Amino acid sequence: MDKKGLIVVLSGFSGAGKGTIMKHLLQAYPGEFHLSISATTRAPRQGEEDGREYFFRTREEFDTMIENHELLEYATFNGNSYGTPRSYVEQLVNEGKDVILEIEIQGALQVKKIYPEALLLFVMPPTADDLKDRLVGRGTETEDVIAQRLAISAKESQFMTGYDYLVVNDDLEQSVLNVHSIISSEHFKTARNVETINTIQNELKKFERR
């Protein structure tokens, strides 16, 4: 099989459970995937640490990263900037490792433009009301922010067909299995195994009959 790693983009409405799926995926399959850590101008939430959930940066620092082309993609979400540091992703993919970017839709579509071979997954809850219940239940955001995030989700839903796969997050463990099998299957696509195909074609030449 060809050795290049995959760029996997995982998006979904705020509160759809993509963060939890990611956490469980990394735990269930240790060493199999690498998570890209984004830079953001958003303030840390309680319990979040710089360099673990995000690289928390000032607006000036973030702008400098943009100017220096250090970000693979970046976008504004609810008044804050978020971006994917380029070098980490490129290095891992070249080493044959799969990297997961947990990012919102504008960024995901930028990634697809730069890397058409990227694999885009979208996570949604079973219903819109489930989404609201989960955001309220999380208890990390004010009512205002929740209303803003739901309104953003309504807009984002227009772009879901730009993704390759849909994961309906009803049961967490099943969603983790689904994400894992989608990524695994992707490696077997003929389009991702051109080198392997060329090799066997060349090897088989010795059996050709004239």
Q: Judged by CB under 6 A, which of 25, 102, 175, 178 binds ligand 5GP?
A: 102
27-46: contacts with ligand 5GP (CB under 6 A): 38, 42
CB 53 within 8 A of CB 47: no
| Structure tokens, 54 | 């995000």
Q: Which is nearer to ligand 5GP, 48 or 173 (by Cβ)?
A: 48
Q: Judged by CB under 6 A, which of 7, 104, 122, 146 binds ligand 5GP?
A: 104
| Structure tokens, 175 | 């969603």
120 binds ligand 5GP (CB under 6 A): no
Q: Judged by CB under 6 A, which of 5, 17, 107, 125 binds ligand 5GP?
A: 107
* 122/166 Cα distance (integer angstroms): 5
* 101/71 Cα distance (integer angstroms): 13
Spatial CA neighbour of 124 closest among 162, 184, 80, 167:
167
| Structure tokens, 185 | 């299957």
103 binds ligand 5GP (CB under 6 A): yes
Site string for ligand 5GP, 65-94 (x = CB under 6 A): --------x-x-x----xxx----------
* 37/50 Cα distance (integer angstroms): 10
The binding site for ligand 5GP (CB under 6 A) comprises 14, 38, 42, 73, 75, 77, 82-84, 102-104, 106-107
